[in-house]
Structure 1
Amino acid sequence: MAVGLVIIPTYNEIENIEAIINTVFDLKKDFHILVVDDNSPDGTAANVRELQNQYPDKLFLEVRMEKSGLGTAYIHGFKWALKRDYEYIFEMDADFSHRPADLLRLHRACLNGADMSIGSRYKRGVNVVNWPLSRILLSYGASFYVKIITGMRIHDPTAGFVCYHRKVLEAIDLDAVRFVGYAFQIEMKYRAYLKKFKIEEVSIIFTDRINGKSKMSSSIIWEAIYGVIGMRLRSLFSRNSFR
């Protein structure tokens, strides 16, 4: 039985996808991978299909018709996973900004009692490589802002390297999740926090991508800034939407 399912959302990741898949499957524990591709014009999905011949019954592919956002890709993957028997479901980027070897550490944290473990860039200082100072300040400042608004004591609420016990995803109304960009990561943690699941941060080193193009945009940043306030207000005055 697999340790868990690693969900990797992709859009134009042809330069990274084969290497990240091979690296995950080279780990000492048996992970399965689900790639959720947004119909990448660069042939990412075709590359995954070729690799499925090498990794039958452990590499899976879901292709959506268009680029619809990080959050909806993960929701698609979560629903796919919950229809199967995976006890642990992971989020991970395709570009090696998250070290595949750290999947083992996130899994260990959940085995030791966490319901949700987060690969944290800011638990012990700032552990980010190859980012300009402006982006570090933006990301670190956003994390501080989220803590103030939501009350969560999470050092890296925007982190996208996560392990969920399936009971967390089963408890969250996935159809009610609103955000589609990086604010999706904040909302998922906040929903888990309100349901009083045990959340633990695992310190990691985050390395900016070498190959491919970042999907960050100004609209994603503004979604996070303004959306967090709205999310907090909805949780206070419309608790049914966060049950």
Structure 2
Amino acid sequence: MLSLTIVTPTYNEADNIAELLRRVAAAVARETDVVVRSVVVDDSSPDGTAEKARALAPELETPSFSVQVLDRTTKEGLGAAYLWAFERILEADDAPDCILQMDADLSHDPKYLADFLREVRAGADLVVASRYIPGGGTPDWTLDRKILSRGGNIYARAILGSRLTDWTGGFNLFSRELLERIHFETVDATGYGFQIALKHRALTAARRVREIPIVFLDRTEGTSKIPGNTLLRSLLLVLRIRLGRDGSR
């Protein structure tokens, strides 16, 4: 039986968290031979995100699905939340076979869970959801946003010398063994840069890498938490990684 933990960092996602967890539960119900835990990592949201998730957990629990809420006392950003959660999840006696990153704003559709699981069962230890391979897309984006994002990913691909098409996306699956091999806890980057740094390190150690196409949908509730200068900082990080200075601590 395959075990999977979905990690979802949150800050003020009370408008989205219940719908997300319901969709994840429905996606899990369509699968067999997998046990899934959805872990909400909340940075002390003042809007009651954690409380909503906890209240819904008993209703959604089944033999193959459960919800856990982890509380953080400070708001330190996406990368810090992921590293904090990864460490606690992998240190536990019931550490899962795989960990899947998923945003809380419904931009990552849980229906793609089946595609992730298919690739894992075929032997992949790193599965990246891509907006930039056939079948993927960003239909809600303006043209300038599409150009900026696509250009940034082409830049990362060229500088880092990899055929990976989506460096900045946050919908990715890692095997437990892969995360343990790459010493994820030393990654020191934020925003899109965190995803780039983590993927680059994973690519150096992964045995089998696969990309799956996804259609990325813009949030309809709440506001984005990514700072406006994040893209520029991420582009500079790519150069540092290429030069062997990836910001590891």
TM-score (norm. length: structure 2): 0.89
Contact 2:125 2:174 in 1 (8 A): yes
Give CA deviations for 1:38-97 in whole Å, capped at 9, x if unaligned. 111111011112123324582111111122111111112211221233001100011111
Provide the identity percentage.
Answer: 36
- 5+ residue gaps in structure 1? none
Q: Say if 2:200 is the partner of 1:206.
A: no
Question: How far is the alpha carbon of 1:14 from its aligned partner?
Answer: 0.6
| 2:170 aligned partner, one-letter code | G
Aligned pair partner of 1:166 in 134, 156, 176: 176
Aligned pair partner of 2:77 in 69, 82, 85: 69
Q: Say if 2:90 is the partner of 1:85.
A: no
Contact 2:41 2:85 in 1 (8 A): yes
Residue pairs, 1:105-124, within 5 angstroms: 105-124=115-134
Question: How far is the alpha carbon of 1:34 from its aligned partner?
Answer: 0.3
| 1:112 aligned partner, one-letter code | A
| 2:23 aligned partner, one-letter code | T
Aligned partner of 2:8 in structure 1 is: 8
Aligned partner of 1:133 in structure 2 is: 143
TM-align CA RMSD: 2.1
TM-score (norm. length: structure 1): 0.91
SS of alignment partner, residue 170 of structure 2: coil
Contact 1:38 1:65 in 2 (8 A): yes
Tell me which moved more, 23-32 or 35-44. 23-32
Give CA deviations for 1:82-141 in whole Å, capped at 9, x if unaligned. 123300110001111111010110121111121110111001276112111111111101
Contact 2:126 2:173 in 1 (8 A): yes
Q: Say if 2:148 is the partner of 1:143.
A: no
Aligned partner of 1:229 in structure 2 is: 239
Give CA deviations for 1:12-50 in whole Å, capped at 9, x if unaligned. 111100010011111223421000011111110111121
Question: How far is the alpha carbon of 1:196 from its aligned partner?
Answer: 4.4
The separation in 1 between residues aligned to 2:172 and 2:136, in whole angstroms, is: 18
Contact 1:89 1:163 in 2 (8 A): yes
Change (3 A) 1:80 1:134: same
